[in-house]
Amino acid sequence: MASLKPVRGTHDLLPEEMRAHRRIMDEAREIAERYGFEEMSTPIFESSDVFRRTLGDTSDIVTKEMYTFTTKGGEEITLRPENTAGVARCFISEGLAQSVPLKFFYAGPMFRHERPQKGRQRQFHQIGIETIGVAAPIADIEVIATGARILAELGLKDSTSLQLNTLGDPESRAAYRAALVTYFGKHTAALSTESQERLTRNPLRILDSKNEGDRVVVADAPAFGDYLNDDSRDFFDKVQDGLSALGIPFQLNDRLVRGLDYYTHTAFEFTTTQLGAQDAVMAGGRYDGLIQTMGGPNTAGVGWAAGMERLAMLCGEAPPARRPVALVPLGDDAEARSLPLAEALRASGLRVDVGYSGNLGRRMKRANRLNASVAVLIGDDELAKEVATVRDMDGGDQAEVPLTQLPEWLSRYR
């Protein structure tokens, strides 16, 4: 018999953890809206070509991590490993080119078959934003500022830092790629097997290798700054000046890269030292060539994604649950009366928990366990007088309140 446990790399989000996730989603959604980003959602699975075209046939995600399967109709589909590709596909298939600029916010689950570890699951959750159709540096600045504001509102301003780099325009990138191939080609024997494979397909990825032997070689690799043309330098200068004008501190990191050719100019990560090896909590960059790579028009784009699991770990204790009103009916008549009464209280905006069974002591214990703010007791004596006994669960004070006045009287506990 199959084990009745979550599949490896997945886990249940019980109410406390769900509250932590909801806090992040709600905070991010509200702040993104302030910056003009509108929420959208793409399907959790796409045609596999959507990801092969965007992530590359030789990328680790495509070769090792995608959940791909064939439907009964013979179509090959993939659970989304990230959401930018889906947003780009949506831009093309929905004919949105005439509506640029577009600014989107999203939140939802992603799927990658990788080794589960702290802060990394095979089903994980992300929030993200994308700005499409703005080629100017102001879009990069605004996208980063939105992320910085979200982290600040979550209380993470002091525990994260912004790492910033430029990948230059295609001309600069090509020149730098050639320089890296020449340099690493002289040190092939010292590179890991994975980096040797990357040398021909995406040598920039060698720069962010975690292999200690690779890092020794990378330490003396050419610097990207030496291969930037004037346009690329000017673009990056404007991004830095804009961030400085907004008071957003950053650290230049010339080893921060994106391995695929459609990435250009700005690359950035918000990192932390509080999660061990999983230091990136929000990462993004400019991808001006992505939509064209997928068969759409040449369209600029820039955005970021952040993992909710890692953000929740940084945020610490989940927000407390909203305290309920405990409705405690005693006797058949009171129980029959409690159902419409509970509906009236809920309609007034209160969270109401009805004690369904047990004597008064058991029902009050449940009220305590739920951290109820107030208990509303109704028995035969109360029904005879058309009142309820209302007990404050913190101070212990009691009062008899007419049933018709309960919603207004209890509004202080909303």
CATH match for 325-413 among 1.10.10.410, 1.10.760.10, 3.40.50.720, 3.40.50.800: 3.40.50.800
- Please determine whether the domains at 15-169+229-315 and 325-413 fall in the same fold group of CATH: no
What does the pLDDT read at residue 245?
98
In whole angstroms, what is the distance from residue 286 CA to residue 288 CA? 6
Structure tokens at 54: 């965007």
Q: Are strands 45-47 and 76-79 parallel, antiparallel or unpaired?
A: antiparallel
Q: Which helix (H) or strand (E) holds 309?
A: helix 308-315
Amino acid at 170: P
| CA proximity to 35, closest of 157, 168, 134, 163 | 134
pLDDT given for residue 358 in this prediction:
79
pLDDT of residue 211: 86
Report which listed range, 115-129, 203-217, 383-397, is most confident: 383-397
Quote the mean pLDDT of the chain. 90
Of 160 and 55, the one with more pLDDT: 160
**Which residues have C-beta within 8 Å of that of residue 304, sequence separation ≥ 6?**
128, 129, 143, 144, 147, 268, 282, 283, 284, 285
- Asked if the model's pLDDT at residue 57 lies above 80, the reply is no
Q: What tokens were used for 67? A: 């959940």
Rounded average pLDDT over 199-221: 85
Tell me the two tokens of residue 161: 């830092």
148: pLDDT strictly greater than 90: yes
In this structure, are residues 44 and 109 in contact, taking their beta carbons and an 8 Å threshold? yes
Eight-class DSSP state of 117: B
Which pLDDT value is given to residue 189? 86
Mean pLDDT across 387-411: 93
Strand order in the sheet with 45-47: 45-47, 76-79, 67-70
Domain covering 15-169+229-315 assigned CATH 3.30.930.10 in the classification: yes
Choose among 292, 303, 315, 301: nearest CA to 105.
303
Q: What pLDDT shows up at residue 61?
A: 58
Instruction: With a cut of 90, say whether residue 204 has pLDDT above it.
Output: no
Residue 64: what pLDDT? 64
Rounded to an integer, the average pLDDT of 100-126 is 90
pLDDT band at 109 (very low <50, low <70, confident <90, very high): very high
Q: Return the residue matching tokens 């890692």.
A: 310
Average pLDDT, integer, range 295-315: 95
For the entire predicted model, the pTM comes to 0.89
Domain ranges of the chain: 15-169+229-315, 325-413
pLDDT score, position 65: 83
**Would you state the pLDDT for residue 154?**
96
Concatenating the DSSP letter of every residue in 34-92 gives HTT-EE----SEEEHHHHHHHH-TTSHIIIII-EEEE-TTS-EEEE-S-SHHHHHHHHH
Using one digit for the tens of pLDDT, what is the confidence trace for 150-196?
Answer: 999 999 999 999 999 999 998 998 898 899 899 988 888 888 888 88
Highest-pLDDT range among 62-71, 91-100, 207-216: 91-100
Q: Whole-angstrom Cα distance, residue 340 to residue 304?
A: 48
Query: So what's the pLDDT on residue 238?
Result: 98
DSSP letters, 140-195, are HHHHHHHHHHHHHHTT-TTT-EEEEEE---HHHHHHHHHHHHHHHHTTGGGS-HHH
